[in-house]
Amino acid sequence: MEYAIIIVLLLYGIVKYDYKGRTDKNGIYYKLMYILMVLMSGLVYRVGADLVGYESSYYFNYQGELNYGISDLFTFSRSQPGWILLSSLFYKCGASFTFFKVAQAAFFQFAVFSTIKKYTTYKYTALLLFFVFLFPHVNFNVIRESFAISFFLLSITHLINRNWIKYSAYIFCAFLFHAGAVILFLFPLIFYLEFNSTKKVIIIAAIFFILSLVAASLNLTKAYMDFVYSTGNAGLIEQSEYYFLRDRYTLTSIDNIGKSLLFFVLADRKSGSAGMPRP
């Protein structure tokens, strides 16, 4: 029922503000949608397998310990230092997991809403797509990764303006919550490709496609896992088994890469026509 209400409100926003072009005075309607999504995400109770696990860990595993050091950045544990530190701080302050979840929801939704507002002309259309396709998964399952996503979204302005120090600082924060964010350090290289946006995407997509075919033909997954087992690093083994030995994470699944590249094409073209600052 709650989903239906928000979808109806978003459809109303699409018709009134995106299609008819009415002005949302002081952004009141937009702020209302933000509050509703924060409440829906933050006040959920034991929805999503990952969320249940996070709640159990919050009360029973971390015990508010703040003994992580620099070396823990490279242990490849599924509980990254940023997550441990943040949850421990909330735990030590006596906050319930519900309060922690509301804070997470507020931060993530803020990153999404501010990014959409800044770079999207049809805000409510974008919000509807986000709510239907991404909201449940990110808010009810991968909440640790949601912090990494949030920091990346907040870094986009600095990426566009080529402020590499600030961009790197945001990405480092993202890395503290999810090791996969390390690939984001390579994004600035895209700006040095001397092609238009369409050619960039074709070249990058071709590279990913070729690499996936090579990996599949040479069975690189097995070779990599043999190397991982030989290291004896328990955290690295756990992380690698989780991502490389599950069908949904195989190297041949390039559909998400294609969607991401399409987004960059559209965003780049929009930037040239809608006043988004060019690098």
What are the angstrom distances between the C-alpha of 159 and each of 18, 66, 186, 236? 27, 32, 11, 30
Q: For 221, how many CA atoms within 13 A lie in the half-sphere containing its CB?
A: 16
Please tell me which residue, 136 or 253, carries the higher pLDDT value. Answer: 136
Question: What mean pLDDT is reported for the chain?
Answer: 76
CB neighbourhood size of 73 (10 A): 16
Total-model pTM: 0.74
112-156, pLDDT tens digit by residue? 999 999 988 889 999 999 999 889 888 888 888 899 999 999 999
Q: Which pLDDT tens digit goes with each residue over 64-100? A: 455 555 555 555 455 678 888 888 888 888 889 899 9
pLDDT category of residue 208 using cuts at 50, 70 and 90: low
Look at 24-28, 75-79, 187-191, 217-221 and tell me which has the smallest mean pLDDT: 75-79
